[in-house]
Structure 1
Amino acid sequence: MSAKPFDFELAEKKLTDGFIDELLKHAEQFRAVRDVIREGSDSLDRRLARAGLVRREWRETEESLPSLITEARDNGHSVDGIAYTLGVTESYVYRILRKSRSAKDQ
């Protein structure tokens, strides 16, 4: 009985086909997950929750902003640098510093 030689080309084709099938299956799963995420990211509930979170964070920041501005100025930061970093005008920073100074004087 003679042994049949191993067919490397056939083995390579079967492995390649199996790999491609598996890759396409994963790509389809990825596409389905991506579509679900995209749908959820634009939902009203998600946008509303995000807006509430941002608003609460802003409120906390707004309350501590005068002391933060005063502390930055006391530590040598320039008014224009503070204004630029916070995204406010220099006149706003000066106004906060004046209020802070007058509160200390009382």
Structure 2
Amino acid sequence: MTDKPYFMHVEDVMTEHALDEMIKLAEQIKVTREVTRKEADSIHHRMHVAGYIRRQWKEIEETLPALMAEAREDRWTVTGIAETLDVTESYVYRRLRESAAE
């Protein structure tokens, strides 16, 4: 045993235990923050990518009626156009009608 009184020894042990627990808690907080930051970065990045893709689609979407009409003139079927563009046949027919009306 040491020259310290027992209560001081207990106090040292309890202080060391409390410090160990605080360090564990700080490490858990650090890990949680890193995960949260990664998720935030991920959602931030995904939102920007989605916005970019949507803007690109909007630009291309304006040209679709002319592209579809050109494909029809080149003997593409409505089914072929729809499958290639991943849209429904009714969408193709509607856009072709709108294009013809203009």
Which category of TM-score, normalised to the shorter sequence, fits these structures?
A: 0.5 to 0.7
Following TM superposition, by how much is the alpha carbon of 1:56 offset from its aligned partner in structure 2, in angstroms? 0.8
Distance in structure 1 (CA, Å) of the matches to 2:98 and 2:42: 43
Whether 2:69 is the aligned partner of 1:98: answer no
Following TM superposition, by how much is the alpha carbon of 1:75 offset from its aligned partner in structure 2, in angstroms? 1.0
Structure 2: gaps spanning 5 or more residues: 1-37
Instruction: Note the alpha carbon deviations across 1:3-34, whole angstroms, 9 max, x for none.
Output: xxxxxxxxxxxxxxxxxxxxxxxxxxxxxxxx
How many percent identity over aligned positions? 53
- The normalised TM-score by structure 1 is 0.54
Paired residues in the alignment total: 65
Following TM superposition, by how much is the alpha carbon of 1:44 offset from its aligned partner in structure 2, in angstroms? 2.2
Instruction: Note the alpha carbon deviations across 1:13-69, whole angstroms, 9 max, x for none.
Output: xxxxxxxxxxxxxxxxxxxxxxxxxx58x6222112111111111111111111111
User: Quick one: which amino acid aligns to residue 67 of structure 2?
Assistant: L
Distance in structure 1 (CA, Å) of the matches to 2:77 and 2:47: 37
Distance in structure 2 (CA, Å) of the matches to 1:90 and 1:44: 34
Following TM superposition, by how much is the alpha carbon of 1:102 offset from its aligned partner in structure 2, in angstroms? 2.4
Distance in structure 1 (CA, Å) of the matches to 2:75 and 2:44: 44
**Counterpart in the other structure of 1:89:** 88
CA RMSD of superposed structures (Å): 2.0
- The normalised TM-score by structure 2 is 0.55
Distance in structure 2 (CA, Å) of the matches to 1:84 and 1:43: 32
Q: Which has the larger radius of gyration?
A: 2
Counterparts in 2 of 1:1-106, with a 5 A limit? 39=38, 43-103=42-102
Following TM superposition, by how much is the alpha carbon of 1:83 offset from its aligned partner in structure 2, in angstroms? 0.7
Distance in structure 2 (CA, Å) of the matches to 1:87 and 1:45: 27
Higher relative contact order (CA 8 A, sep 6+): 2
Structure 1: gaps spanning 5 or more residues: 1-38
**Counterpart in the other structure of 1:18:** none
Following TM superposition, by how much is the alpha carbon of 1:81 offset from its aligned partner in structure 2, in angstroms? 0.3
